[in-house]
Structure 1
Amino acid sequence: MALQADKIFVNLPVKDLEKTKAFYSSVGFAFNPQFSDNKAACMVISDHNYAMLLLEEYFQTYTKKEISDATTSTEAILAITAESREQVDEIVNRALAAGGKHSMDPQDHGFMYGWSFQDLDGHMWEVIYMDESAVHS
């Protein structure tokens, strides 16, 4: 039987928790105060997907490895879906207006459209819209 997890919590190290929360609030995300404090904030991506934004010092308590500098190397690209091409553009434009950095130019593959940005700590986020009706099985 294949494993099926009910929820995902992506943990990301951040330098300044308050600036990071302000950035993601500007992009349009909300936070769950039940799982947030002065060392971490639980950003709600959807009903089953969350990003735990942890101050670097706190993040370090969960690993023996060195924390990657996301401004100079890429460890992961976090991809989220949007409801339309327009929403992809809206989310990325909000991120750029809030201080995020340009990552990749928009990519239009007909049935799929995506655009990406880097957050304040250099983490790469890709926002994708996929027209499910155009995908042939």
Structure 2
Amino acid sequence: MSTSKPPSFFVSLPVASLSSSTDFYKSLNFTPLDDYSDDDTVAFRFPYKSNANICLMIHSTSRFEQFIRRGSKIVHAKEVTGAIYTLGVPNKEDVDGFLEKAEKAGGKKDPFEMKEYGKDLGLYTRSFEDMDGHIWEATTMLNEKAKEKA
């Protein structure tokens, strides 16, 4: 068992291909957590120290079905948006770099565009889709005033 502090918040997502999605998230510097992974689930710590208490768990469809209410259906994220997952990063360059990595790994940059989204709050935010259509954002605070509010 790992000696590092366990995550305190978990996000679970269904994926069509566990191996392809594992490669995708590894390319974005998500850190695998072997202690929480098995043949149907792969767990990761979110990238960047500030997000280290968050765990992403990607599950095969059959595993994910074990966790949902009986009679309900798994959302197909390319057809329906059930949530947007936002990742805080240190600076604007990291936001843009994160999206470049996502696109290079098979994701889609900027599936939607909101001009100057968050600018009035001192934020810089861009979005991407993973291979299953789950929407993610990378965001940073641009100025010290915004950082003090956080």
Would you say same fold, with TM above 0.5?
Answer: yes
Cα offsets for 1:17-61 (capped at 9, x unmatched): 010000111122111011111100111113210111011110001
Per-residue deviation, 1:104: 2.6
Aligned residue in 2 for 1:37: 38
Does the residue aligned with 1:83 lie in a helix, a strand or coil? coil
- Identical aligned pairs, as a percentage? 28
Aligned-residue RMSD, C-alpha: 1.8
For 2:9 and 2:114, locate their aligned partners in 1 and report how far apart those are by CA, in whole Å. 26
Mark the runs of 5 or more structure 1 residues left unpaired by the alignment.
1-5
Equivalent-residue separation in structure 2 for 1:9 and 1:88 (angstroms): 22
Query: Which is strand-richer, 1 or 2?
Result: 1
- Choose the corresponding residue for 2:128, options 114, 117, 133: 117
Secondary structure of the equivalent of 1:134? Answer: helix
After TM superposition, the runs of 4+ consecutive aligned structure 1 residues lying more than 4 A away are none
CA distance 1:59–1:115, shift in 2 (3 Å): same
User: Which amino acid letter does the alignment assign opposite residue 61 of structure 2?
Assistant: E
Equivalent in the alignment of 2:66: 61
Measure the CA separation in 2 of the matches of 1:19 and 1:134.
Answer: 40
Q: Does 1:80 align with 2:91?
A: no
The aligned residue for residue 71 of structure 1 is 78
What is the letter of the counterpart of residue 133 of structure 2? G
The amino acid of 1:78's aligned partner reads Y
Change (3 A) 1:128 1:11: same
Gaps of at least 5 residues in structure 2 are 1-6
Aligned AA (2:15)? V
State the SS of the aligned residue for 2:85. Answer: strand
Q: TM-score, normalised by structure 2?
A: 0.81
Report the counterpart of residue 4 of structure 2 in structure 1: none
Conserved? CA contact 2:92–2:142, under 8 Å: no
Deviates more, 1:42-51 or 1:10-19: 42-51
TM-score by length of 1: 0.89
Q: Contact between 1:35 and 1:41, CA under 8 Å: does it hold in 2?
A: yes
Secondary structure, counterpart of 2:112 in structure 1: strand
Contact 2:13 2:57 in 1 (8 A): yes
Q: Offset of 1:134 from its aligned partner?
A: 2.3
Query: What is the aligned partner in structure 2 of residue 3 from structure 1?
Result: none
